[in-house]
Amino acid sequence: MQAVKAGTRPPWVGFAAAVWVGISAGNSYCFPLYSHSLKTVLGFSQQQLTILGVANDFGENTGILPGIACNYFPPWVVLLVGVFSCFFGYGVIWLAISQTVVNMPYWVLWIALVLAANSSAWLGTAVIVTNLRNFPLSRGTVAGLLKGYIALSAAVFTEVCTMLLNGSAPAIVLVFTLGIPVICLTLMYYVRPCTPASEADPSENGHFLFTQGTSLLLAIFLLSTTILKNTLNLNDTISYTFIAIMVVLLLSPLAIPIKMTLFPARKKLLRPAESSDSLVSVEGDSKTDPLLTPSSSAANLTSFHESDSEVNMLLAVGEGAIKKKRRPRRGEDFSFHEAMMKADFWLLWMTYFLGVGSGVTVLNNLAQIGASLGFDDTNTLLTSAIFSAGLVAVPLNTIPRTFWTMVTQIIMVLTYLLYASALDGTLYAATALLGTCYGVQIAIMISTSSELFGLKNFGIIFNFMQLGNPLGALLFSGMLAGYIYDTEEAKQGTSSCMGPACFRFTFLVLACVCGVGTILSLILTLRIRPVYQMLYAGGSFRLPQSAGHR
């Protein structure tokens, strides 16, 4: 596939297409939209329903194969697998929930949910990996924006469900079955790799700020309109107008390539680099080997002490007399096996497991949490949960992004205690706080993985990190929350558990879990701060000289 120089329109057209594919990739976040119907129509217990939620989380976060595929196949192939997974998985769920097929076996439904949610891994991995490689110097911003749009998909589909489908669970599942494949098949050509820039583009920050602003505006709009729909009796004209405005906001990233077409930059394009190992020269420039004049970040990441023997060794290696492979240092490209040998890898995994794994427990049981406290408006609850999930966590004066992981986990401890207290008027606020922390931690994990371990095998590494989500769901949701709920329901002798006791003990356990996560986040932040001081020594991200990407 032909590479295109950085700064030209195709990378930004691809980014705009990735926004729509990202919205499609967030289908797994929408489990609460139809989980209640699964329970009532098929007669499942709460524990059976939470195990289905685990299937959803397992499929969503099992992305090792998509990560490997990104290293060997073009993005359209990875997207095509996601399309088929979505169509067949949600097709089976629709047959069951619409009672087109009666008495569908539980295990078939479980496998169908894994397959349906696994489409998120294929679609999301394709757009995130491709765009991080297209914009390596803005990888943190790109990761946060795309993951933010993926998180906002739950609000987008909630808007569609409430405004157009009158809250029909079978109808929204049918949209997943047919609508998502159509969107991805239409746009997959535009999600393609382009040659990245080796130096920062001054206009890039402005473009990303515009995209961040429109995504925040979209989040506010979705929350506001969902509340209006559930509190006022809106007619069809107003509902359709809201949908049209939502579509315009989703199309807003296209304004960037349109602006670049109408008002092309007069300055010379930045020099492209196929990889950071390439020695790039421009016609007419002096051909200076960049290894002779390393950047400050590259110099900091190389050996601090050189003796005469080391110089001789390097000369021997250069002449081919000795073949020596140096282990990568943090900030350079790691293989998956090399990354797994690092303590920072497992610290990052554990903090993700404890934070996001506990957060997904609440999101999976959100409908039942609301119902147990007397709230039937689960659509507004879901929208408030993802309201600010796309905030981008950036380093502060070379302080690592994991500092924000620590901050959000402290907030989550307080949020779980707020849930456990069941105070009047706190449910929506607690859910919005939790959704914000949940989304920020996902974006932090993606950005930090790319900064510590490079982009060459990024798809495999970050998808392995995401396994913390389904494992947390299995442990905290399937084995803890579902069991506590069913026990309380049996004590009450009713078909649905009512009152704070249904989830109180679960929330207290989750608060303790996030307390441990806070300590681990602090340890990780202190460990990797020297790396961020090197990478951000000039005030913005500097690509290490040896950190190639494909």
pLDDT at residue 506, as a whole number: 93
CA distance 412 to 414: 5
More confident position, 303 or 13: 13
Residues forming CATH 1.20.1250.20 domain(s) in the chain: 8-195+205-262, 331-539
Tell me the average pLDDT across 324-350. 83
Q: What is the pTM of this model?
A: 0.72
Q: HEC states along 126-138?
A: HHHHHHHHHCHHH
Distances (CA, A) of 503 to 46, 378, 469: 12, 16, 20
Tell me: the pLDDT tens digits for 151-187?
788 788 888 887 888 878 889 899 999 999 999 999 9
CA dihedral 342, 348, 349, 353 (to 10 degrees): 160
Considering only CA atoms, which of 155, 149, 175, 57 is closest in space to residue 381? 155
Domain 331-539 has CATH 1.20.1250.20: yes
Task: Check if the beta carbon of residue 39 is closer than 8 Å to that of residue 378.
Answer: no
CB atoms within 10 A of CB 377: 14
Task: Specify the DSSP class assigned to residue 199.
Answer: S
pLDDT at residue 412, as a whole number: 94
CA within 13 Å, CB half, 433? 18
Sign of CA dihedral 198, 403, 216, 16: positive
Helices (H), 401-539: 402-421, 427-453, 458-465, 468-472, 482-492, 504-535
Considering only CA atoms, which of 282, 291, 269, 303 is closest in space to residue 196? 269
Instruction: Determine the CATH number of domain 8-195+205-262.
Output: 1.20.1250.20
pLDDT at residue 296, as a whole number: 41
**Ordered DSSP codes for 500-537:** GGGTHHHHHHHHHHHHHHHHHHHHHHHHHHHHHHHHTT
Task: Check if the beta carbon of residue 30 is closer than 8 Å to that of residue 56.
Answer: no
Tell me the average pLDDT across 379-394. 54
**Ordered DSSP codes for 21-38:** HHHHHGGGGGHHHHHHHH
Tell me: the pLDDT tens digits for 81-125?
999 999 999 999 999 998 888 888 889 999 999 999 999 999 999
Tell me: the pLDDT tens digits for 245-284?
999 999 999 998 888 888 776 654 444 444 333 333 333 4
